[in-house]
Amino acid sequence: MWPRLVASKLLHRLSSSNSSSAADFPSTTTAASNWDEIINLQRSCNDGKETRNYKLFASTWNVGGMAPPSDDLNLEDWLHTRNESYDIYVLGFQEIVPLSAKNVFGPEKTRVAAKWNSLIGAALNRSSPFSEDRREAKVGEQRVHPVGEGTARSFHCILSKQMVGILVSVWVRADIRRCIRHAGVCCVGCGFMGCLGNKGSISVRFCFHETSFCVVCCHLASGGKEGDELHRNADVMEIFSRTCFLPRPSLDLPTKIFDHDRVILLGDLNYRISLPEATTVSLVEQKNWNVLLEKDQLRTAVSVGRVFDGWHEGAITFSPTYKYYPNSDEYYGCIQRKKGEKRRVPAWCDRIMWHGNGIKQKLYERCESKLSDHRPVRSIFDVEVEVVTSLTSPRSF
């Protein structure tokens, strides 16, 4: 039975991923197409624009194959919703299911993804009125457009996609959902045989008013041995070259990652620290982040131009996010290992980066959930969005 399953899964991946598999959803309807024609006609008559600033929350979390432990798991601390609200949430998970042969070659386990989305929706939509002074906030000299006066939070999921253990979920405020168009997704498998989905990426794109966004959620090759970082670099180049969204006739939509106006990449990038284990452990215990970051493989690769040319990452001022004993603050390697345990050295595996202009990072930090052997990482961005002032915004999709 297994050879048949492997062959079926492999053929499916080869026929989809290697041909730059992409899918737009929800499907384009006649009404949506007609609206695009109306927009293009009105633009030709009057294309007055203004730039608005919106708040975008981005986070990545490798949950280590752990399903949510209960239906009432509270995600408010992670999503930062107790005292703050954002316009767009882009959330990337890795290992929502164990990366076993059964899960890699078998059918997708969508129940776990549905459970995570249900918990996210519950956290974002839990009633919490806002004070009147949030009607118009300021960031420097630029305006930010938050939830209206006296309005409780209300968010909708505009996009959710799973590939084996990777999950991307995008949520927006209900009152701006009608301004989101052309949502799409593209999956690239870089795992077993170079094409299966135990490693790789899910990229999502959408247009918000007149500005295109692309979010890339990655889970790159693992391994702490010398030279393993080259496999991660190769995964990045594969993702950049093979990601391609379906074009739409008569619409000038971006199809490649770097065609988009605002690009964010997040995930378990798996880059390690190029120091002997004992040295790394000692520096972690001393909290000497500066010396450790000098040997961070991702920063080294960027500095010499091997990968991520032109990308930006905020200053790292937090502890390494990997690898912990579950439900513990203790790193593997910093206490005596149990017999038979694999060697794991602390590292900043979980990262968030961005590319292009019109993005300003306001926060970059880790969270303290102890669900898995990774700590989540989150970032808050101010993003510039071009708005055509003479048009009535389209209905969602």
Is the Cβ–Cβ distance between 184 and 245 less than 8 Å? yes
**Position of tokens 């209960």?**
70
CB neighbours of 97 closer than 8 A, spacing ≥ 6? 65, 67, 103, 109, 112, 164, 165
Pairing of strands 377-388, 49-62: antiparallel
pTM recorded for the entire structure? 0.85
Phi, psi of 290 (to 5 degrees): -60, -45
Q: What is the pLDDT of residues 207-251, one digit of tens each?
A: 999 999 999 999 999 999 999 999 999 999 999 999 999 998 888
Distances (CA, A) of 186 to 9, 357, 386: 17, 23, 25
Contacts (Cβ under 8 Å, ≥6 apart) of 25: 159, 183, 184, 185
Q: What is the pLDDT of residue 393?
A: 47
pLDDT digits over 104-132, tens only?
A: 999 988 999 999 999 999 999 984 444 33
Classify residue 250 by burial, with Cβ atoms within 10 Å: 0-12, 13-18, 19+. Answer: exposed
The token pair at 216 is 């890339």
Q: Which residues have a Cβ under 8 Å from the Cβ of 29 and sit 6 or more positions away?
A: 397
396 pLDDT more than 50: no
Question: 101 pLDDT exceeds 80?
Answer: yes
Tell me the pLDDT tens digit for each residue of 373-388: 999 999 999 999 999 9
Q: What is the rounded average pLDDT of the residues 301-329?
A: 93
Q: Residue 366's pLDDT band (boundaries 50, 70, 90)?
A: very high
Q: State the Cα torsion 221-375-171-156 to the nearest 10°.
A: 130
Task: Indicate if the pLDDT at residue 201 is higher than 50.
Answer: yes
Q: If you average pLDDT over residues 191-206, what whole number do you get?
A: 95
141 has a pLDDT exceeding 60: no
Half-sphere exposure of 226 (CA within 13 A, CB side): 3
Q: Are 48 and 335 in contact (CB under 8 A)?
A: no
Residue 146 Cα distances to 56, 167, 174, 360, angstroms: 11, 27, 12, 17
Assess whether pLDDT exceeds 90 at residue 178. Answer: yes
CA 257/CA 215 separation, integer angstroms:
9
Give residue-wise pLDDT tens across range 9-41. Answer: 555 555 454 434 444 444 333 444 454 555 555
d(CA 69, CA 52): 40
CB atoms closer than 10 angstroms to residue 266: 26
Backbone angles phi, psi at 25, to 5 degrees: -155, 150
Is 70 within 8 Å of 119 (Cβ atoms)? no
Rounded CA-CA distance 105/233 in Å is 25
